[in-house]
Amino acid sequence: MNAIPSVWHYGLMAEYWAEFLCDAPEVPYLSALIARSGEPVLDLGCGTGRVLLPLLRAGFDVDGADISADMIRLAQETVLREGLATRLLVQPMHEMALPRRYRTIYMVGSFGLGGDRAKDLECLRRCRDHLEPGGVLLFNMPMEYTSREAWEPWLSESRQRMPESWPPRGSPRLSKDGSRRYLQIRVLDVDALTQTYTREARLEKWAGGELVKAENYVLRGTLYLTQELLLMLKCAGFREVTVKGGYSDEVPTRDHEELVFEALG
């Protein structure tokens, strides 16, 4: 159970997240949830603070935990620079052992990364153990069957062409330090039997017309569908589960590209 999950949130990828992936459209929904379920709050898989930081700025009592020391370091730099108060810890989800309990725990875009069902189930159990009585766990799950682009790699004819070729490098993104950043992602493999996928990222940092650093990372993830997740939450000890069509109060349908699960501890 203690093998390190296969994720890519380190090095240049962590820097890329901190600088370019900052929008947090989930915050209004999470703010309303916290108002109902209460504080303190845990952002599990907080990364560089994309969602954590806006909630801290709004005055919520939110801690953060993530497997990546690089991402936690970048989040901490912003926290210190802005004079915010929080506790940030480096811990894998399935080994979470934090010093306090929470009224609300959320995972945004992070559940299922690492590609190990046993670890994911243990993560849910640990979330349950870290909730105060009556506390709420929230996490989202993309529904890949609603998108042709996402679903096609699972088809047999697509699998025969894997690993995919690298996509065109495209235009760089200009960093605050003046460097230029490139990111390419391709699918290495999908396994419909185990419902797992493997993707590779290639990152480059250029400055003054020269390549400063290049890194490759591999991410393995699990495709979960609704009924399986409901069973996992039951096995993890949650009492009631509500499924919603995205970060809204919409009743879920087969056309929603993302579902949000709220589980009562």
pTM for the whole structure: 0.95
Opening angle at CA 150, ends 172 and 159, nearest 5? 100
Per-residue pLDDT of the chain (265 residues), as tens digits, is 456 678 999 999 999 999 999 999 999 999 999 999 999 999 999 999 999 999 999 999 999 999 999 999 999 999 999 999 999 999 999 999 999 999 999 999 999 998 899 999 999 999 999 999 999 999 999 999 999 999 999 999 999 999 999 999 999 999 999 999 999 999 999 999 999 999 999 999 999 999 999 999 999 999 999 999 999 999 999 999 999 999 999 999 999 999 999 999 9
Q: For the chain, what is the largest distance between any 2 Cα atoms, rounded to a whole number of angstroms?
A: 57
- Would you give the DSSP letter of residue 8? -
According to the CATH classification, is domain 11-142+225-264 in 3.40.50.150? yes
Distances (CA, A) of 159 to 134, 190, 220: 44, 7, 16
User: If we measure between CA atoms, which residue out of 127, 147, 140, 128 comes closest to residue 26?
Assistant: 140
Q: CA 129 → CA 98, 126, 192, distances in Å?
A: 10, 5, 32
- For 98, the token pair is 């934090």
Domain borders along the chain are 11-142+225-264, 146-221
